Amino acid sequence: MGRLDGKVALITGAARGQGAAAARRFVAEGARVTIADVLDDEGKALADELGAAYQHLDVSSEDDWAAAVERTVDEFGSLTVLVNNAGILHFSELAKTSLADYERVIRVNQIGAFLGMRSVVEPMSHAGAGSIVNVSSVEGLAGMPYLVAYTASKFAIRGMTKVAALELGRKGIRVNSVHPGMIDTAMVSEAAGGAEIDTSWVGKKVALGRVGQPEEIASLVVFLASDESSYSTGAEFVADGGATATHALKM
Ligand SMILES: NC(=O)c1ccc[n+]([C@@H]2O[C@H](COP(=O)([O-])OP(=O)(O)OC[C@H]3O[C@@H](n4cnc5c(N)ncnc54)[C@H](O)[C@@H]3O)[C@@H](O)[C@H]2O)c1
């Protein structure tokens, strides 16, 4: 028996990286899955491979959200898990961060998570159960230089998660945030304009001595999507190799 048998999940930003790893695990654990992204070719290929559905979804678009939720319910009969995973990163120092760049990050990371949560209240209420997993970051727990917009958006996700958990708990809908540390995906190199970035030095700074793999976050997301986490809501789940176990004064 799969740990997600009977669940119907919509996972954003699932064409690659951590979202794709979650989609693979969800299907393996028995969930029916809609993979949603703006990377249509990669998303469709993964959906075909897994026997999942693919839906184009720009998480900053209300219309796209309406279509993605409708498609999922039409195709699978319900929607009981949302993984708000899509996100973008932008490096720049505060004094040089343009309003356009700040707003771009907020639109995808923060407004995207807000629209996603709002869009699934109705189908999850109808189902009488649901789990929303919001992917924040260690930057939702502590600040990081050169990441003002990203840090703001990830703190916002952490806060919104708690509001949603408080409002939706009596409807049987749980809402939690996930806080990964440095994970081995294309995100950092993409934010650096496509350059190959060696992140292993960051890994050496944490207790476990390495960066994380997308599958290690997918395991946590499966737990939160499943009934195994039935008494967890409004909570922060950290998977960071020990990055936040210390502070800047560490020797
Ligand atoms: N990689 C890390 O070190 C790290 C650490 C902490 C948190 N995170 C968070 O994990 C999540 C997944 O990131 P990842 O590491 O897999 O990176 P990634 O860049 O590989 O994946 C992000 C996905 O989001 C998609 N996306 C971007 N904008 C979108 C939009 N407007 N609408 C829909 N999809 C969109 C991308 O196409 C991509 O498939 C993000 O929220 C990220 O902020 C990443």
pLDDT per residue over 131-140, tens digit each? 999 999 999 9
Is residue 122 within 8 A of residue 220, CB to CB? The reply is no
- Does 180 reside within a domain? yes
Q: 85 CA distance to ligand 1 centroid (A)?
A: 6
Q: 1 CA distance to ligand 1 centroid (A)?
A: 30
- Does 191 reside within a domain? yes
For atom 32 of ligand 1, the residue with the nearest CA is: 58
- pTM greater than 0.85 (yes/no): yes
Tokens encoding 6: 């009977």
Q: How high is the pLDDT of residue 7?
A: 98
In this structure, what CATH number is given to the domain that contains residue 18?
3.40.50.720
- Does 249 reside within a domain? no
Three-state SS at 230: coil
Q: 170 CA distance to ligand 1 centroid (A)?
A: 31
Domain that holds residue 38: 8-239
Neighbours of 247 (CB within 10 A): 7
- Does 2 reside within a domain? no
Residue 38 Cβ contacting ligand 1 at under 6 Å: yes
- Does 95 reside within a domain? yes
Q: Annotated catalytic residue: which of 54, 146, 150, 231?
A: 150
Q: How far is CA 128 from CA 7, 23, 160, 234, 241, in A?
A: 13, 23, 21, 18, 35
150 is catalytic: yes
For ligand 1, what atom is nearest to the CA of residue 190? 19
Burial per residue of 77-102, b for 16 or more beta-carbon CB atoms within 10 angstroms, e otherwise: ebbbbbbbbbbbbbbeeeeebeeeeb
Determine whether 39 is exposed, middle or buried from the number of CB atoms within 10 Å of its CB (0-12, 13-18, 19+). middle
Residue 131 Cβ contacting ligand 1 at under 6 Å: no
Does pLDDT of 195 surpass 90? no
- The residue whose two tokens read 């409807």 is 171
212 φ/ψ sector (left φ>0, alpha ψ -120 to 50, else beta): beta
pLDDT in tens, 18-67: 999 999 999 999 999 999 999 999 999 999 999 999 999 999 999 999 99
Q: How high is the pLDDT of residue 197?
A: 83
- Confidence grade of residue 9 (pLDDT, cut at 50, 70, 90): very high
Q: How many independent structural domains does the chain possess?
A: 1
Residue 147 Cβ contacting ligand 1 at under 6 Å: no
pLDDT in tens, 57-110: 999 999 999 999 999 999 999 999 999 999 999 999 999 999 999 999 999 999
Does pLDDT of 196 surpass 90? no
- Confidence grade of residue 174 (pLDDT, cut at 50, 70, 90): very high
Helices 17-28 + 40-50 axis angle, to 10: 20
Residue 197 Cβ contacting ligand 1 at under 6 Å: no
The mean pLDDT value of the chain amounts to 97
Q: 5 CA distance to ligand 1 centroid (A)?
A: 26
Does pLDDT of 200 surpass 90? no
Q: What is the mean pLDDT of residues 175-191?
A: 95
Weakest mean pLDDT among 145-149, 187-191, 224-228: 187-191
Q: What is the mean pLDDT of residues 224-232?
A: 98
For ligand 1, what atom is nearest to the CA of residue 136? 7
For ligand 1, what atom is nearest to the CA of residue 14? 39
Residue 15 Cβ contacting ligand 1 at under 6 Å: yes
For ligand 1, what atom is nearest to the CA of residue 212? 3
The 3-state secondary structure of 172-186, one letter per residue = CEEEEEEEECCECCC
Eight-class DSSP state of 117: H
Q: How high is the pLDDT of residue 58?
A: 99
- Does 248 reside within a domain? no
Q: How high is the pLDDT of residue 193?
A: 86
Tokens encoding 64: 């796209």
As a whole number of angstroms, the distance between CA 181 and CA 100 comes to 26
- Confidence grade of residue 238 (pLDDT, cut at 50, 70, 90): very high
Neighbours of 207 (CB within 10 A): 10
- Does 1 reside within a domain? no
- Does 250 reside within a domain? no
Residue 183 Cβ contacting ligand 1 at under 6 Å: yes
Does pLDDT of 189 surpass 90? no
